[in-house]
A and B are shown apart, each in its own frame.
Chain A
């Protein structure tokens, strides 16, 4: 089954999809998209604060 990368790839794709769907269904409902840099204290795209 794992002789070909194709099968491994499809399995991993399904796993990612199932985990992400599970996460979505168990997370609080949100009506807006977010990025860490949206926060007013963020000083970098990942949301890191500004150096003191």
Chain B
């Protein structure tokens, strides 16, 4: 660390959100009431486990917003400016998670990693997701925390995401039938030591390559991003231990959409996806009994609190219409892509790679390709 400081490769950025502005007290009260009621519902039904995950969701919302921790913008910087720092930190996040996920998952100590089939749907879905996240200007977690913080664009992207994920749920079984292999775990058939070292070497190796490129091209690393990465890693690990699985965002949106469809009289429960045991149970149970859905509520409220305290909630005017159209289209594409690709940057990229699953690496590669297409499309929408 000292060596890096002497080389002056860290820059001490100022936080984009400052404490001390005029608080939005009416919003704080509203969010406080909503949070208290949801917490009461959760406490009665699922007790301390549910409450913990709701609270961690809130902390994730605060952390993401405070550090402006984005995947979509980071990948855009990589593609447009050759700035390899953000994606380097993303791999550090993956690496920190993998230090806990890999051994616990391998030894079967209660929690299991995130694995998914290697399929045409994975490649197609991640590519579509990549396009969508550049058009909407945020990925799964990005839509959640920026929506929570009052982003006008996300007022359109979030419903698009929800509708898209329902469409994705309807077409996933058909596209899975086009071709799929069972999940492939990198080093999964070898000893724990080899499995652990191989995956850690791959993940941290990629991070080191990205940071080396950044330093050699004169870019300064950010201590704030390192702090943000560490905090988010810690929260992801807590979710993994408490919920039994790595953190995922997008299934919650699918559940919300499925329930709205049922409320509107659309018999979505008769379709193939919603007859699989997991989705069928989620459709039947309360939205607060699904881990992903519950944490999404927490994240929106946490980001809202942070924005209200820092007086940054919805303080911008409406963006141009073309950008709102891009947000809807981006949300729809992300929704479809997330279902076909088994998740977003959190549920597929971070959770997949840190579990040692090959699908996570493929997801990242194809989502990066999709991001390139999305970036090329952005000028048509006035970005």
Q: Which of A13, A41, A45 contacts B114 (CB 8 A)?
A: A45
Contact A32 B117 (CB under 8 A): no
Which candidate, B186-194, B216-224, B276-284, is the interface stretch facing chain A?
B276-284
The yes or no answer to A1 lying at the interface (CB within 8 A) is no
Across-interface contacts of B37 in A (CB, < 8 A): 17, 21
In chain A between 13 and 52, which residues have their CB closer than 8 angstroms to a CB of chain B? 13-14, 16-17, 19-21, 23-24, 27-39, 41-51
The yes or no answer to B46 lying at the interface (CB within 8 A) is yes
Q: Which of B152, B183, B284, B286 contacts A43 (CB 8 A)?
A: B183
Contact A51 B180 (CB under 8 A): yes
In chain B between 117 and 159, which residues have their CB closer than 8 angstroms to a CB of chain A? 117, 119, 150-152, 155
B1 vs chain A, min Cβ distance (A): 36
B: contact size bracket: 35 or more
Contact A51 B182 (CB under 8 A): yes
Instruction: Fill in one digit per residue for B34-59: 1 if any A CB lies within 8 Å of its CB, else 0.
Output: 10011001000111011001000000
Contact A42 B278 (CB under 8 A): yes
B121 vs chain A, min Cβ distance (A): 9
For B151, B155, B169, the residue with the greatest tally of chain A CB atoms inside 10 Å of its CB is B155
B349 vs chain A, min Cβ distance (A): 12
In the assembled complex, the Cα of A13 lies from the Cα of B150 at a distance in Å of: 10
Q: How many residues of A contact B (CB 8 A)?
A: 40
Contact B244 A38 (CB under 8 A): yes
B172 vs chain A, min Cβ distance (A): 7
In the assembled complex, the Cα of A35 lies from the Cα of B351 at a distance in Å of: 14
Contact B116 A45 (CB under 8 A): yes
Across-interface contacts of A41 in B (CB, < 8 A): 276-277
In the assembled complex, the Cα of A41 lies from the Cα of B169 at a distance in Å of: 18
Across-interface contacts of A36 in B (CB, < 8 A): 251, 276-279, 281-282
Contact B284 A28 (CB under 8 A): yes
Assuming the contacts A30-B45, A38-B244, A45-B343, asked whether A20 and B282 have C-beta atoms less than 8 A apart, the reply is no
Across-interface contacts of A32 in B (CB, < 8 A): 46, 289
For B41, B46, B287, B343, the residue with the greatest tally of chain A CB atoms inside 10 Å of its CB is B287
Instruction: Fill in one digit per residue for B293-327: 1 if any A CB lies within 8 Å of its CB, else 0.
Output: 01001001000100000000111111000000000
B15 vs chain A, min Cβ distance (A): 23
Contact B287 A35 (CB under 8 A): no
Contact A45 B342 (CB under 8 A): yes
Q: Which residue of B lies closest to A37 (CB)?
A: B245
Across-interface contacts of B317 in A (CB, < 8 A): 4-5
Instruction: Fill in one digit per residue for B254-294: 1 if any A CB lies within 8 Å of its CB, else 0.
Output: 10100110010000000001001111011011111111101
Contact A39 B277 (CB under 8 A): yes
Q: Which of B34, B285, B343 contacts A27 (CB 8 A)?
A: B285
Assuming the contacts A5-B152, A41-B277, A48-B172, asked whether A20 and B297 have C-beta atoms less than 8 A apart, the reply is yes
A38 vs chain B, min Cβ distance (A): 7
The yes or no answer to B181 lying at the interface (CB within 8 A) is yes
Q: Which of A13, A30, A42, A51 contacts B289 (CB 8 A)?
A: A30
Contact B182 A43 (CB under 8 A): yes
Assuming the contacts A37-B245, A46-B251, asked whether A29 and B45 have C-beta atoms less than 8 A apart, the reply is yes
A28 vs chain B, min Cβ distance (A): 7
Contact B285 A28 (CB under 8 A): yes
In the assembled complex, the Cα of A39 lies from the Cα of B245 at a distance in Å of: 12
In the assembled complex, the Cα of A31 lies from the Cα of B263 at a distance in Å of: 24
Residues of A within 8 A of B (CB): 4-6, 8-10, 12-14, 16-17, 19-21, 23-24, 27-39, 41-51
Pairs A–B under 8 Å by Cβ, sample size 12: A27-B286, A30-B289, A33-B290, A34-B282, A34-B290, A39-B281, A43-B183, A45-B347, A46-B251, A46-B339, A50-B182, A51-B182
Given contacts A17-B37, A20-B288, A41-B276, 8 further A-B contacts (CB under 8 A): A20-B287, A23-B259, A32-B289, A33-B243, A39-B277, A45-B347, A46-B273, A47-B277
